[in-house]
Amino acid sequence: MAKKNRILLSFLISLFCVILLSVPALGVTYRNPRIRIPIFGLHDIINEANINQSPENRSQFENDYFKQDFYTFINYLAKNNYWFLTTQDLFIYFIEKSQPIPPEKIGQKPVMITFDDGYYGVHENVLPILKDLEKKYNKKIKIVLFVNPGLMGVKLKDFLPHVSCAELRDGYKRGYYDIQSHSQTHKQLTLIKRKDLKFELEQAKLDLRTCTKDLDKNKLVAAHFAYPFGQVNRRVEKALSPYYLTGYIYDGNMTRINRYTNKYRISRITVNRDNSPRNLIGIAKRATTLKKL
């Protein structure tokens, strides 16, 4: 009986020690809840005042967004001192945590603005907005362009024009563009053969880095990836990892950073013409305000 009591006492002491040692960890968890980062995914931007972009002269798509609405949204973010993340910012400061968040970013809310497919309308309509906001607020705003290099510079009738390498370089040199990969030719990666999948991933990285090689000393171009159509499975995810540090999907969710975050399935919120600037601002307001730990 005495032996059983000693065993029970030993167990209770061990349990107490485990609970005691867990208290600091629980405290850290409480003080550092999951960080919420809205990542907005857009496609083409159209200017209603431009006759060439009117419904009579250009096919209209659900994922189009109007220039004036975009200006209203991004002007609010700039005015209220949001932190416009690049893909590498998200990776090093939040996912890998390989570097501490810069002190000057404490008190800000992080967001990311991304554009898929590399349409010329983004370069034509968004770049002037970024220049205007830089003059207005004395800050440079970066946007992420997920580009299909196999379509760079393609400007055909009845086909939305795509940005050229020279135009990408222009935005990159000015410090506005974070240029990343969206596969070579925008195929649905979950449906193609392994050989074709390898080509879509590998060639896109090679072509984008060739386009920017003299500008990209740290090889940050084409280090990250957005899945065409937002589609991914385990096979694609596994194939992606030798070439890219992260992968972005469309699931309509805000990115929530914690130890369970899958860096190859980073959430994005689709933006289309049905989303008013007010609606997007409401989502952005839910971003975590960064605090000193």
Q: Please check whether residues 19 and 40 belong to one and the same domain.
A: no
Residue 93 inside a domain? The answer is yes
Q: Of 145, 159, 155, whose CA–CA distance to 224 is shortest?
A: 145
Please check whether residues 99 and 124 belong to one and the same domain: yes
Q: Does residue 70 lie within any of the structural domains?
A: yes
Q: Is residue 116 part of a domain?
A: yes
Would residue 283 be called left, alpha or beta, if left means φ above 0 and alpha means ψ between -120 and 50 degrees?
Answer: alpha
In a domain, 220, yes or no: yes
The verdict on 179 and 259 lying in the same domain is: yes
Asked whether residue 238 is assigned to any structural domain, the reply reads yes
Residues 272 and 210 grouped into a single domain: yes
- Same domain (yes/no): 212, 254: yes
The total number of structural domains that make up the chain: 2
31: pLDDT strictly greater than 50: no
Task: Give 250's pLDDT tier (boundaries 50, 70, 90).
Answer: very high
Tokens of 255: 């990115």
Compute the average pLDDT of residues 180-204.
98
> Which residues lie closer than 8 Å to 21 by C-beta, 6 or more apart?
none
Q: Which domain holds residue 137?
A: 35-284
> What are the angstrom distances between the C-alpha of 243 and each of 76, 232, 258?
36, 15, 24
Query: Which tokens sit at 224?
Result: 């990250």
Do 158 and 233 belong to one domain? yes
What contacts 140, CB < 8 A, 6 or more positions away? Answer: 130, 134, 175, 176
Whether 48 contacts 70, CB under 8 Å:
no
- Same domain, residue pair 11 and 132: no
Cβ atoms of residues 163 and 179 within 8 Å: no
Task: Return mean pLDDT, the chain.
Answer: 90
> Is residue 142 helix, strand or coil?
coil
Average pLDDT rounded to a whole number, residues 269-278: 97
Would 289 be classed as within a structural domain? Answer: no
Write down the pLDDT at residue 58: 80
290 located within any domain: no
In this predicted model, what pLDDT tens digit does every residue of 36-87 receive, in sequence order? Answer: 999 999 999 999 888 788 887 787 888 999 999 999 999 999 999 999 999 9
Do 26 and 142 lie in one domain? The reply is no
Distance CA 60, CA 52 (A): 12
Percent with pLDDT over 90 in the chain: 80
Question: Are the C-beta atoms of 86 and 95 separated by less than 8 Å?
Answer: no
Distance CA 106, CA 288 (A): 11
Q: Which residues lie below 8 Å from residue 106, measured CB to CB, with a gap of 6+?
A: 290, 291, 292
Please check whether residues 221 and 184 belong to one and the same domain: yes
Tokens representing 203 are 């060639």
Q: Which pLDDT does position 25 carry in this prediction?
A: 38
In this structure, the answer to whether residues 27 and 56 fall within a common structural domain is: no
Q: Does residue 293 sit within a domain?
A: no
Residues 122-135 pLDDT 10s: 999 999 999 999 99
Q: Out of 146-150, 155-159, 161-165, 219-223, pick the least confident.
A: 155-159
Indicate if 14 and 72 belong to the same structural domain.
no
Per-residue pLDDT band for 22 (boundaries 50, 70, 90) equals very low
Position 28 scores a pLDDT of: 33
Q: Say whether both 131 and 170 belong to one domain.
A: yes
Q: Specify the CATH number for the domain of residue 99.
A: 3.20.20.370
Token pair 């002037």: residue? 128
pTM over 0.85: yes
Distance of CA 130 to the CA centre of its chain: 18
Q: Which helix (H) or strand (E) holds 225?
A: strand 224-226
